[in-house]
């Protein structure tokens, strides 16, 4: 473009306008350079026509709600998401549900280049709100039906609540015709940390999109003194403190579980499961002369340091056998002492047949280095048992076997964090939705004596 155009004198630089309230004479500053439609006198709270050079009175202030004070004073400037904004308007709004009136506050922010933006505050919960540039897609004909929702920029929002919101108190200036007592139908759809709201007034629907902010972010942005009021309860679009996407969490868990299975199969494949000893012995129960222990032949455990599985089998029936083992390294004398019991009882009683115990027992000795070994075995049994005085028992020893148990333990340990996080998230979401038009069904029937407040 050629810049040969003559220099324009141009209109004078817009300045914040100073005027006086026609009702009480207090000075009034218009901060939005002519964008205001109405301005409220900070002293007598009359609503004035900001477009009228004489500030005609549109509505006189009636109620004694002077105690309502904006947490961010009008005229305060702050930097929100990189843009400077000035607080130019404030309104308190209310809705009544089951005869309880809830109040929230809205702050109007202005930047002469970027336009308007809003902050809302309810019980210490804040939202940064701007007008939607695109039309959301509402799903379902009846927007307040449970499970209905809206889609905005490809994101799914769930219907939270529809209520009649009326303006209760106003301060400062607004780019629209604001009136105390005016009621709009407000519908909120949530997708934490965002909330999509439609506001219907005189058949005109305005959509806005809000994002949850913590009080401390507001305090930092506007450099406010002291600390923000503490947030109470869970707000409709408050991000879950869990802060983790549960789907990803469980996918990660599934990943680890698959890894465990792969590990298990892998070790099963590379385990040698090598038989090193298989012998059947007879215990002479009548031989009570004490010392019945004996040693086996020396056998070799090969390969890397690994486990040894000892299986004890005895066809006991309503009887027991106890075997004291010592696995002894022939070269170093190092010993692993352990005792195993095999017992099996069965019979009939009034409830039918029963049994207890097994004829098999197995134990795994971990981390046994390679070398030459033998067992010292010392069996015991009830010497008073009648019948054949011999109890046979078989000892089967294998080197390097896969152990499934540790995988189970690892699985359970892995399961704990996602389970705890999911439970916390579940309980947070319940608290959130209890405030909605679609409260969750109670887990337990409400008990009459308990008070959970």
Partner 1 sequence: MTQPVANCPNCGAKIVFRWPGCVQTTCEYCRSILVRTDLDLKKVGQVADLPPDSSPIQLNTEGAYRNKAFVVAGRILYEYGQGGWNEWHLVMNDGTSAWLSDAQNEFALSVVAKAPNLPAAGQVHVGEQFSWNNQSYTVSVITPARYRGVEGELPFQYWDKTEVTFVDLRSETTKFATLDYSDPEATLYLGEFVDFDGLKLKNLRNFEGW
Residues that bind partner 1 (CB under 8 A): 1-2, 4-6, 8-11, 13-16, 32-35, 37, 51, 84, 111-116, 131, 133-137, 175-177, 203-205
CA gap 227, 218 in Å, rounded: 10
CA gap 106, 122 in Å, rounded: 9
Residue 265's φ and ψ, nearest 5 degrees, are: -65, -40
Residue 129's φ and ψ, nearest 5 degrees, are: -120, 135
Shorter beta-carbon distance to partner 1: residue 109 or 397: 109
Residue 233 in tokens: 């309860």
Shorter beta-carbon distance to partner 1: residue 33 or 259: 33
**Minimum distance of partner 1 from residue 137's CB (angstroms):** 5
Residue 287's φ and ψ, nearest 5 degrees, are: -75, 95
Which residues have a Cβ under 8 Å from the Cβ of 254 and sit 6 or more positions away?
A: none
**Minimum distance of partner 1 from residue 203's CB (angstroms):** 8
Q: Three-state DSSP class for 414?
A: helix
CB 125 within 8 A of CB 239: no
Shorter beta-carbon distance to partner 1: residue 4 or 387: 4
**Minimum distance of partner 1 from residue 125's CB (angstroms):** 27
Q: β-pairing, 294-295 with 83-97?
A: unpaired
Shorter beta-carbon distance to partner 1: residue 177 or 427: 177
Cα–Cα separations (whole angstroms), residue 437 to 16, 144, 163, 197: 44, 8, 9, 15
**Minimum distance of partner 1 from residue 198's CB (angstroms):** 12
Shorter beta-carbon distance to partner 1: residue 50 or 377: 50
CA atoms within 13 A on the CB side of 213: 21
Residue 386's φ and ψ, nearest 5 degrees, are: -80, 180
**Minimum distance of partner 1 from residue 43's CB (angstroms):** 23
CA gap 210, 199 in Å, rounded: 13
Shorter beta-carbon distance to partner 1: residue 12 or 446: 12
Name the strand (E) or helix (H) holding 407: helix 405-434
Name the strand (E) or helix (H) holding 247: helix 246-270
Q: How far apart are the first and last CA of the chain?
A: 69
**Minimum distance of partner 1 from residue 153's CB (angstroms):** 9
Shorter beta-carbon distance to partner 1: residue 133 or 247: 133
Q: Three-state DSSP class for 98?
A: coil
Shorter beta-carbon distance to partner 1: residue 2 or 353: 2
**Minimum distance of partner 1 from residue 51's CB (angstroms):** 8
Shorter beta-carbon distance to partner 1: residue 114 or 424: 114
Shorter beta-carbon distance to partner 1: residue 174 or 373: 174
Shorter beta-carbon distance to partner 1: residue 8 or 270: 8
Name the strand (E) or helix (H) holding 48: strand 47-49
**Minimum distance of partner 1 from residue 241's CB (angstroms):** 32
CB 60 within 8 A of CB 46: yes
Q: What is the DSSP letter of 262?
A: H
CA gap 246, 335 in Å, rounded: 49
Q: What is the DSSP letter of 320?
A: E
CB 325 within 8 A of CB 373: no
**Minimum distance of partner 1 from residue 244's CB (angstroms):** 31
**Minimum distance of partner 1 from residue 93's CB (angstroms):** 19
**Minimum distance of partner 1 from residue 187's CB (angstroms):** 17
**Minimum distance of partner 1 from residue 70's CB (angstroms):** 21
**How many C-beta atoms surround the C-beta of residue 20 within 10 A?**
13
Shorter beta-carbon distance to partner 1: residue 30 or 401: 30
CA gap 139, 154 in Å, rounded: 13
């Amino acid at each position: 473009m050629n810049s040969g155009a003559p220099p324009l004198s141009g209109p004078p630089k817009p300045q914040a306008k100073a005027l006086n309230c026609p009702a009480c004479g207090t000075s009034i500053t218009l901060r939005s350079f002519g964008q205001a439609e109405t301005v409220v006198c900070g002293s007598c709270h009359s609503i004035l026509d900001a477009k009228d050079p004489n500030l005609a009175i549109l509505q006189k202030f009636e109620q004694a709600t002077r105690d309502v004070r904006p947490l961010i004073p009008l005229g305060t400037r702050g930097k929100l998401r990189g843009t400077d904004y000035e607080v130019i308007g404030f309104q308190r709004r209310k809705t009544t549900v089951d005869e309880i009136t809830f109040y929230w506050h809205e702050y109007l922010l202005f930047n002469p280049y970027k336009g308007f933006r809003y902050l809302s505050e309810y019980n210490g919960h804040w939202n940064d709100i701007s007008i939607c540039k695109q039309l959301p897609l509402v799903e379902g004909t009846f927007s307040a039906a449970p499970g209905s929702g809206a889609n905005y920029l490809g994101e799914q929002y769930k219907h939270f609540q529809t209520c009649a919101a009326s303006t209760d108190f106003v301060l400062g200036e607004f780019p629209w015709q604001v009136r105390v007592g005016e009621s709009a139908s407000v519908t909120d759809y949530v997708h934490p940390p965002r909330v999509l709201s439609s506001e219907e007034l005189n058949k005109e629907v305005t959509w806005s999109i809000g994002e949850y902010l913590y009080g401390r972010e507001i305090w930092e942005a506007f450099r406010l003194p002291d600390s923000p009021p503490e947030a109470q309860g869970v707000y409709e679009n408050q991000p879950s403190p869990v802060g983790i996407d549960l789907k990803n969490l469980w996918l990660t868990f599934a990943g680890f579980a698959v890894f465990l299975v792969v590990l298990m199969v892998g070790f099963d494949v590379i385990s040698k499961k090598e038989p090193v000893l298989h012998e059947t012995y007879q215990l002479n129960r009548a031989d009570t002369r004490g010392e019945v222990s004996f040693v086996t032949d020396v056998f070799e455990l090969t390969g890397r340091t690994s486990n040894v599985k000892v299986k004890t089998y005895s066809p006991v029936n309503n009887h027991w056998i106890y075997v004291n083992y010592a696995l002894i390294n022939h070269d170093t004398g190092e010993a692993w002492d352990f005792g195993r019991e095999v017992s099996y009882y069965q019979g009939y009683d009034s409830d039918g047949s029963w049994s207890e115990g097994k004829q098999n027992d197995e134990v795994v000795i971990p981390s046994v280095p390679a070398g030459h070994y033998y067992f010292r075995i010392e069996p015991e049994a009830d010497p008073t048992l009648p019948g054949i005085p011999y109890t046979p028992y078989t000892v089967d020893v294998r080197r390097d076997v896969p152990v499934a148990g540790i995988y189970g333990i690892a699985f359970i340990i892995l399961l704990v964090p996602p389970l705890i996080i999911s439970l916390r998230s579940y309980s947070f979401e319940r608290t959130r939705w209890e405030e909605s038009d679609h409260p969750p069904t109670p887990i337990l029937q409400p008990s009459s004596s308990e008070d959970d407040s």
